[in-house]
Amino acid sequence: MTVADTLNAVRTDLSIANRMLANEGIFDAFGHTSMRHPTNPDRYLLSRSRAPQLVEPGDILEFDLDSNPIDKNHPPLYSERVIHGEIYKARPDVMAVCHHHAPAFMPLVVCGIDFVPVFHLGAVGGVKPPFWDQRKEFGDCNYLVVTPEEGASLAARLGSHNMVLMNRHGVTVVGTSIQACVFRSIYSARNAEYQIAAAGAGTIDPLSPGDAKISGDISTSTTGLHRAWEVWLRRLSNAGGMPPKTSVARAAAKSTAKTGSRKSKAKFRSAKKRGR
């Protein structure tokens, strides 16, 4: 498989992940997920500014770790892309990042309630992952993470954890693959939903740290990750939400056209210098 083929496959997977997270109620018009570049760890892939449910492979752009687009003739971009770039800088082990405002999490991040795993699949979120308070560090704000300093602060607060809660804002999740990141995003949100419901019903008896450690390995030590991805993919397909395949072809054609244009211009300049 060529590098171009690999990138086309990754763009397809990433567009499916965006649509899948929307179909499962993690994203609405807002939120975004990214992947580290498959062959260049100093770059990452993220959609242009678009509602996740509509993202196509042709929307996926390349960025350096300072979150600058590689293609200078780019469409409008997500203002919060520094979340992704700064985490990839700080965490070489991270291969995918998801930032969302899932409704299940909002009571926790509004009230400052610790996330605790209350069932085995919810353990992928960890035990009491850290909170990041943007206003406390940067003063009154609109809660968009748009400067490198804000992105770096969020990444530092994430630390070695797999999830960070953002006061009055949302959640950022990481994974060692796009599948693992989607799994963690969905099942941590399910856990948050159950946690709030259980707190209203009685006293929560959460998983112990030992329970959580063992249960957290379910997605990587069993077929659970692949089983979940398969059913989410089927639900997305049944909902008519799969990205168009022609988008990959358009992206490839656009890339080829740009390469050809650059070569033509270079040839013209060279001929001009020779007086032709």
Q: Which residues contact 61 (CB under 8 A, 6 or more apart)?
A: 45, 46, 47, 48, 69, 70, 71, 74, 77
Check if 80 is active-site. Answer: yes
Whether the Cβ atoms of residue 187 and residue 125 lie closer than 8 Å to each other: yes
Residue with tokens 């992206």: 251
Whether the Cβ atoms of residue 121 and residue 187 lie closer than 8 Å to each other: yes
Beta-strand relationship, 163-166 and 131-132: parallel
Alpha-carbon separation of residue 118 from 84, 115, 123, 127, 212 (angstroms): 28, 9, 8, 10, 9
- Integer Cα distance of 206 and 72 in angstroms: 49
- Integer Cα distance of 106 and 31 in angstroms: 14
Provide the terminal-to-terminal Cα distance of the chain, rounded to the nearest Å: 40
| Token code pair at residue 65 | 């770790």
**Set 24, 56, 80, 193: catalytic member:** 80
Give me the active site residues, please. Answer: 80
